[in-house]
Amino acid sequence: MCRGIQHPVRGLFLRSYLAQVSRDKLPDIGSEYEGDADTVVDAVEFVLQNFTEMNKLWVRMQHQGPAREKEKREKERSELRDLVGKNLHVLSQIEGIDLDMYKETVLPRVLEQVVNCKDEIAQYYLMDCIIQVFPDEYHLQTLDVLLGAFPQLQPTVDIKTVLSRLMERLSNYAASSADVLPEFLQVEAFSKLNNAIGKVIEAQPDMPILGVITLYSSLLTFTLHVHPDRLDYADQVLGACVKKLSGKEKLEDKKATKQIVALLSAPLDKYNDIVTALKLSNYPRVMEYLDSETNKVMATVIIQSIMKNKTRISTADRVEALFELIKGLIKDLDDAFHDEVDEDDFKEEQNSVARLIQLLHSDDPEEMFKIICTVRKHILGGGPKRLPFTVPPLVFSSLKLVRQLQGQEENPFGEEESTTPKKIFQVLNQTVETLSNIPAPELALQLFLQCAEAANDCDLEPVAYEFFTQAYILYEEEISDSRAQVTAIHLIIGTLQRMHVFGVENRDTLTHKATGYSAKLLKKPDQCRAVYACSHLFWVDDQDNVKDGERVLLCLKRALRIANAAQQMSNAARGSAGSVTLFVEILNKYLYFFEKGNPQITVAAIQSLIELITTEMHSDSSTLDPAADAFFASTLRYMEFQKQKGGAIGEKYEPIKV
C-alpha cells in the first residue's frame, strides 16, 4: 500500500503510520520478534528504506504546484519535517546498532540520502537530526564521515549553525568527564574540525563574515574545553580568523562584531587570567578588526576580567601587550574625538583604566620602574580629556615605588642603570607637567605637592624645592578662580608645614611666598584664615629650628587686623558689623600656641582678645550669629576645663579671667 501511494502528503502520513505501528515489532536484540531469519540488520534495512522513501516524498512536495506558492509549500514542509525525522529517532533507539554497524551501514546510508536529495530544507534539518539523535561517542568516532558530508551540501544551507551545534555537543561531552578526553586526542578531533571548517568556507565563497566568525567561535570554545593546555590550538583558530578577516575594512555589522567579542571573551572566561590570553599572538590582531566602539567594549571586558580575578601583571612586556589590547580606552582610535560620547560612560571607562594602573605591580624595583615608563608612554597620548583620570594613579604608583626605595640613595653595586628615587622624580616631574599644559592646574598642583612630600621623606632637598617651585608657578600663572586659590593656598601651607628637609634659606623663601599669597586673596575672610594658617609655618612641634614665636605673633596680629577690616567693610556695605567668627577662630589659634609654650603669646594678649569679642558681641551693630556664639561659648568652656585640670596646663590658664 505504501509503495502504491505516490501523493507526497498522503504517502508521508501513511509511511509515518507504518513507522509508528512497526516500531515495537522490529526484530531487535532481546525483542520477541528476533528469530532465525530476522535479525537487527533487517530491522535497520526496513527503517532506512522507509526513511529514504519518506525523504523523497517530502522533497517532492517542493516541486509540486505553481512557483508563486513556494513560501506556502515551504511552510507546509517545515510543519511535516518531524515525520521524516522520526525514522532517525527510531534508528537511534534500536539496541542492536553498535558503533561498527553505525559506522559501516547506518551513517553512510543516511548521509548518502541527505547529500543526494540536493534540497536545502531537507539537508539542514536532517544534518541537525543526525547530530541530535545519535550518541556523542558515535559522532566522535565517525567525525571524518560526518564532516566529509558538509562541503557537499547545497551552498544555501546554513552550515554554520549545524556545525556549531556539533561542536557544542562535543564540547559538552568533553566537559562531562575527564575519561573521554583521550578519545578526542586519539581521533584528532581538533584538526579534523579545523580542516572541515576550512573546506566549508572554501565551498561557500559567499558565506557572510558573521558565519565565518560563528564557526571559528564555536571551534575556539571546543578547543578550550577539550585542549585547555594547548594554547597553540587556540592561537591557530584566532590566526585562521585573522586570515579570513584580512583584506576587509573594520567590521560595521553589529552581529559580527558581537560574535568577535564572544570569540575574544572565550579565552578570558576559560583561563580567568589575562596573562594566558596575552600569550596568544593573534589575539590583538583579531581586535584590530573591531570598530572603535566595540574595541572599547572589549577593552572593558578585559579590564573587568583582571579586576575580578585580581590578576598580577608584573612584567613590562606583558603590560605593553595589555595596553596594546586596551588602546581603545587609552587613546582615540579615530582621528576625531566623538562629541556624542556619554560623559558618564567616559568617566566610568577612564576610572576602570585608573584602577587597572593601580593593579600593575612588580616586587622588583627595576621591573616596576619599567612598568611605570611603559604605562606613561601609553597614557600620555590619551589627550586632554583622559589625562586627569590616568595621570594621578600613575603618580601614586610611582610614589609607592619611591617609598619602597627610600633610604637606598646609592645602589650598593654601583650600577649606573639602577632605579633611584631621583630618577623616578625626574619622570614624575615631566608627567605632572603634562597636566599643567592641558590645562588642569589644580590637579597638577596637588600632585606636585604630593611629590614634594615624598622627596622630603627621601631627604632630597633640591628635588622637593623644585616641586614646590612648580606648584608656586602654577598658583601664580594658572589658578585664577578665587575658590580654587583658597583651596590651593591651604594645601601649600599644609604641605610646607610638614617639610623638614629644607635649609633655613629655602624654607624662608617658600614661607615668605606662601604668606604673601595668603594676604593677596580676594575676600577678606579668606585672607584672614590663610594668614592665621601661615602662623603654623613658623612653629613646628618636632623641629626645634622652626620655632619663631615673634613671627607667629606677627601672623596672628595681621590676621586680627584683616578681621577688623572685614568687619568695617561689612559695616560700611551692609550697615551691620557681621559675625565675630573670625575673632573666635583667631582666639583658638592664640590658645594653641599659648599651650605649645610660645613665649610671645601672653595672658594679656589672650585676655584683651576675649574682651574684644565680648564687646563686639554685645554691640548694637553686630549681627546675630548662633553658630559664632556657640563657638565662643565652647572656647570659654574649654579654658575653664583646662584651669580645673590642674598641673602645668592649669597653672598656665589660671591668670586668664573668663
What angle do helix axes 159-176 and 209-226 make, rounded to 10 degrees?
A: 10
Task: Report the alpha-carbon distance of residue 508 to residue 208 in Å, rounded.
Answer: 75
Query: Residues near 501 by Cβ (< 8 Å), separated by ≥ 6?
Result: 455, 456, 459, 460, 461, 464
247 torsion bin: left (phi>0), alpha (psi -120 to 50), beta (else): left
Task: Report the alpha-carbon distance of residue 587 to residue 246 in Å, rounded.
Answer: 76
Among the listed residues 130, 132, 186, 180, the one whose alpha carbon sits nearest the alpha carbon of residue 153: 130
* CA 550 to centroid of chain Cα atoms: 56
Query: Residues for the chain: how many in total?
Result: 658
Looking at residue 31, its pLDDT comes to 59
Looking at residue 414, its pLDDT comes to 47
The DSSP code sequence of 620-657 is TTBPP-HHHHHHHHHHHHHHHHHHHH-HHHHHHHTT--
Q: How many CA atoms, within 13 angstroms, populate the side-chain half-sphere of residue 202?
A: 9
Which DSSP symbol is given to 150? G
Judge whether 316 and 374 are in contact, CB under 8 Å.
yes
Q: Give the DSSP H/E element, type plus range, for residue 284.
A: helix 283-287
Place of cell 592664640: 590
Looking at residue 475, its pLDDT comes to 95
Cell numbers standing for residue 403? 617609598
Judge whether 506 and 455 are in contact, CB under 8 Å.
no
Q: What is the largest CA-CA distance in the chain?
A: 130
End-to-end, the C-alpha distance of the chain in Å comes to: 123
Judge whether 586 and 609 are in contact, CB under 8 Å.
yes
585: helix, strand or coil: helix
Judge whether 137 and 100 are in contact, CB under 8 Å.
no
DSSP H helices, 498-523, are 504-519
pLDDT digits (tens, 9 = 90+) for 279-294: 889 998 888 888 888 8
Please give the model's pTM, rounded to 2 decimal places: 0.81
Residues of the chain with pLDDT under 70: 2, 28-38, 333-340, 407-417, 577
Question: Where do the structural domains in the chain lie, given as residue ranges?
Answer: 1-134
Task: Report the alpha-carbon distance of residue 644 to residue 653 in Å, rounded.
Answer: 9
